[in-house]
Amino acid sequence: MSETKLKQKLVEIASLAKKASYRLGQIDTATKNKVLIEMSDALLKNKKEILSANNKDIALAKKKKASIAFIDRLTLNDKRISEMSDSLLQVSGLADPVGEVIKSWSRPNGLKISKVRVPIGAILIIYEARPNVTADCIGLCLKSSNCVILKGGSDSLNSNKAIFDILNNITIKNGLPKGCISLIDVTDRKAVDLILKMDELIDLVIPRGGEGLIKEVKNKSTIPVIKHYKGICHVYVDSEADLNMAHNISFNAKVQRPGVCNAMETLLVHKDVAIRFLPQMIKHLQDVGCEIRGCDLTRKIAKNFKDIKKANEKDWSTEYLDLILSINVVNSIEGAIEHINQYGSHHSDSIVTDNKAHAEKFLKEVDSACVFVNVSTRFTDGHQFGMGAEIGISTDKIHARGPMALEELTTYKYIVEGTGQIRE
């Protein structure tokens, strides 16, 4: 396709989404829920079609010698299709954020002002080869009355198209505005460059994927972006920590699921408890195959342990997403906070302490989306927070921070009612 034709096609998709967004905002909750339930059913009923499309993608990926991890993320099966279906059903049961009066007040001149929650409009989701994202994002955007434009990884195009077509048929059957969901089915890399400049038609872009994808989107986009960067999360074991609790929390934060963004990457330990705390901790972690990289003091304390590499400057700012942990012994709580603010990714950080003043200081001064006291960092999650869903975890400070669900997919408008007021 020539660049002109490609651009024309993308403008058409985005214009249709923008236009549909004015109508989708007016669809009532019951209709939206009905559509979501039918979508959930349709995924199960058309399982064969989805799996057969997915098989094509898998065969192509194998031919390209994609990694096992890549193919795993790409692969759908009965269980994963059921999960997608369940997720849509769950979203149908969540409260509709649209129309909520956030606050309202009157002015001395009689104006009645209300701040009311409304959909954002047209949202572009750019993601990698994870076909489940297709259904998840359609569900969350539809429930919050946002039109969604999906641009998934080329390697999952057959799967995405199959899922999209099934769900799109339900929107058509129910008379939802044309273009309220759309899929960009071209694999040309230029498509992303072009659509990221369409800020007059698209209100928000959410990239979902690795650091490379997010940086690319951030650098190219003139549309506002909400980023979900890496998670370099810390647990800080304070001088006044319950060391048993600190052990359990640290172990959980590192080991329970090391490949996710809210897992701990660096353990910070106050010097006064390091000798009592670290040996047992390191032993337990090494027993389950966790590689340890330590500061000088850590290595001195653990000198009887084998294989503790020196953690260097780069380690402090690395998201391992693996069974690897860097450990730094700090002189003070201030040292811990400084380390986190300097090297962390402002995602999730926890202090283990029985000292209330220390806890308060940590909560106030650590500049992260989620700050914990005596809790594993693994709880940063839309479901764990009680939001009922999650479209991502924002490491941005603008619009949404931390776990994002339905409410975070809305904006507001001011409604002002009067009796003829004019400005003097």
Neighbours of 263 (CB within 10 A): 26
- The residues, any chain, with a CB within 8 Å of residue 237's CB and separated by 6 or more, are 243, 246, 250, 267, 268, 269, 270, 273, 277, 352
The answer to the question of residue 386 lying near a second copy (CB under 8 A) is yes
Applying CB under 8 A, does 240 fall inside the site for a second copy? no
The pattern of x and - marking residues 313 through 342 that bind a second copy according to CB under 8 A reads: ----------------------------x-
Q: Scan for tokens 């939001």, then name that residue.
A: 387
Which position among 293, 372, 395, 405 is part of the footprint of a second copy (CB under 8 A)?
372
Site for a second copy in 101-120 (CB under 8 A): 105, 107, 111, 113, 118, 120
Q: Which of 97, 121, 344, 382 binds a second copy (CB under 8 A)?
A: 121
Q: For residue 121, give the DSSP letter.
A: -
Nearest to 66 by CA among 152, 155, 189: 155
**Site stretch for a second copy (CB under 8 A), options 20-28, 151-159, 175-183, 286-294:** 20-28
Q: What is the rounded CA–CA span in Å between residue 129 and residue 413?
A: 36
What single DSSP character describes residue 290?
A: -
Buried b / exposed e along 328-350 (16+ C-beta atoms within 10 A): bbbeebebbbebbeebbbbbbbb
Q: Could you say which of 2, 374, 388, 392 contacts a second copy (CB under 8 A)?
A: 374
- The C-alpha atoms of residue 191 and residue 207 are separated, in whole angstroms, by 15
Would you list the DSSP string of 70-100? HHHHH---HHHHHHHHHHHHHHHHSPP-TT-
Interface mask toward a second copy for 37-76; x: CB under 8 A = ----------------------------------------
Q: Is 378 in the site for a second copy (CB under 8 A)?
A: yes
Q: Which of 7, 9, 34, 218 binds a second copy (CB under 8 A)?
A: 218
Q: Which stretch binds a second copy (CB under 8 A): 50-58, 275-283, 311-319, 374-382?
A: 374-382
408 binds a second copy (CB under 8 A): no
For residue 107, the minimal CB distance to a second copy (Å) is 6
Q: Which of residues 185-214 bind a second copy (CB under 8 A)?
A: 199, 203-204
